[in-house]
Structure 1
Amino acid sequence: MITVGVGNFVLLKLPQARETLEAVQSFDSGAFWTEARYWYFLLALAYWAFTAWYCARIMLGKRFPLDDIGDCVSPRFATALVCWLPRLLGLMSCIPMTLYFAFGGQHSPLYWLPMAILSCLFLAFVVVRKKLFGVAGWAHRPDCPYPRFDKLGTLAVVMMAAMVATSWLLLLAVLIGKADAARAVGSPALLLAALGGWTLFGSIALMYVPKSLGWPALTLLPFALALGASFSNENHLVAQSAAPAPDAEHGAPDKLIADFREWKMKHDAARPGQPIYLVASAGGASRAAYWTGAMLWELENFARASGRSFAPNIYAMSGVSGGSLGLAAFAGALASRPGQESAPLPRTLLEFLGKDFLAPAIGYMLYPDALARFSPLPCTGCDRSRGLEESWAEDWRRLMPDDPAADWFTRKLPALKQGRDALPHLILNAASVSDGKRVVQSSLDFLPPEAYDLLDKRLDTSRLTLAGAVHNSARFPYISPGGLVYTRSPRAQWDYLVDGGYFENSGVATINTILNRLHAEKDLLGPNDRVVVIVIENDPAWEHEWLCKGNKENICKHDASDAAASKANAQATAQAGAATGSAATGSTSTCPAAAKTPLLAELTIPPLALYQSRNARAHAAEAEAIRILGGCAEQRVVELRYPKVTGEKEPPMSWFLNAGSRDIMERKLGGERPEASQKAYLAFREQWQLMRRYIAAGSQAPAPIPAQAPKN
Structure 2
Amino acid sequence: MLTFVRASGERLRETGSILWRCFYSVTLTILCSIGLAFIPQGIESLRLVSQPGWNFPVFAVSVASWSLAAWYSARLTLGRIFAGNAIVDCADTPYVQWLRAWLPRLLGVLPPTLLTVRYQLLGEPVLALAFAGAALALAIGAFVLAPHRWFGSPLSRLPGSEASLRFVELQKRTVITVVTAILLSFALPLAIWWKPVEVTSVVTAPALLCFAFGSWILFGDLVLTYYFRHFKLPSMAALPLLLFVLFSSWNDNLDILPFVNGRGFPLLASDAPDGSRTESSPASYSIRRISLDLA
TM-score (norm 2): 0.73
Would the aligned equivalents of 2:47 and 2:126 in 1 still touch at CA under 8 Å? no
Contact 1:101 1:112 in 2 (8 A): yes
Change (3 A) 1:180 1:16: farther
SS at match of 1:219: coil
1:431 alignment partner in structure 2: 268
- Residue 70 of structure 2 contacts residue 107 of structure 2 at CA under 8 Å; is this kept in 1? yes
Match of 2:189 among 171, 179, 184: 171
State the 1:169 CA deviation.
1.8
> Which is higher, the Rg of structure 1 or of structure 2?
1
Q: 1:123 to 1:82 in 2, by over 3 A?
A: same
Higher strand share: 1
Residue aligning to 1:191: 209
Aligned-pair CA distance for 1:175: 3.3
Is 2:49 the counterpart of 1:38? no
1:86 alignment partner in structure 2: 104
Does the CA contact (< 8 Å) of 1:430 and 1:473 recur in 2? no
1:201 matched residue in structure 2 = 219
Which protein, 1 or 2, shows the higher relative CO under an 8 Å CA cutoff with sep ≥ 6? Answer: 2
Query: Is the aligned partner of 1:474 residue 2:287?
Result: yes
Deviations 1:88-108 (A, max 9, x none): 111112211122223333334
- Deviation per CA, 1:428-450: give whole Å up to 9, x if none: x8733466531459xxxxxxxxx
Cα deviations across residues 152-191 of structure 1 (Å, max 9, x unaligned)?
2222222222321232122223434345533421122111
Q: Does the aligned pair in 2 maintain the 1:75–1:146 contact within 8 Å?
A: no
How far residue 199 of structure 1 moved from its aligned partner, in angstroms, is 1.0
Aligned counterpart in structure 2 of residue 68 of structure 1, from 86, 90, 96: 86
Which residue of structure 2 lines up, in the alignment, with residue 139 of structure 1? 155
Letter in 2 for 1:213: F
Note the 1:578-657 alignment, pairs <5 A: none
Q: How does 1:80-159 map to 2 (within 5 A)?
A: 80-130=98-148, 135-137=151-153, 139-141=155-157, 146-159=164-177
> Structure 1 440/21 Cα, relative in aligned 2: closer, same or farther at 3 Å?
closer
Is the 1:430–1:474 Cα contact (8 Å) retained in structure 2?
no
> Partner letter of residue 293 of structure 2?
I
Cα distance, 1:141 vs. partner? 4.2
Question: Structure 2 regions of 5+ residues with no counterpart?
Answer: 1-25, 254-259
Relative to the length of structure 1, the TM-score reads 0.32
Aligned length: 253
Q: Tell me: CA distance 1:64–1:431, structure 2 relative to 1, closer, same or farther (3 Å).
A: same
How far, CA to CA, are the matches of 1:7 and 1:231 in structure 2?
25
Partners in 1 of 2:41 and 2:171 — Cα distance?
Answer: 42
In the alignment, structure 1 residue 211 sits paired with structure 2 residue 229: yes
Displacement of 1:52 in angstroms is 0.9
Q: Give the deviation of 1:196 after TM superposition.
A: 1.2
Unpaired runs of at least 5, structure 1 = 30-34, 237-282, 284-317, 321-428, 442-469, 482-712
Percent identity of the aligned residues?
25
Letter paired with 1:140: S
Give the number of the structure whose residues are more often helix, by fraction. Answer: 2
Match for residue 14 of structure 1 among 39, 42, 55: 39
2:155 touches 2:168 (CA, 8 Å); kept in 1? no
- Distance in 1 (CA, whole Å) between partners of 2:214 and 2:82 is 24
Structure 2: distance between partners of 1:440 and 1:91: 46
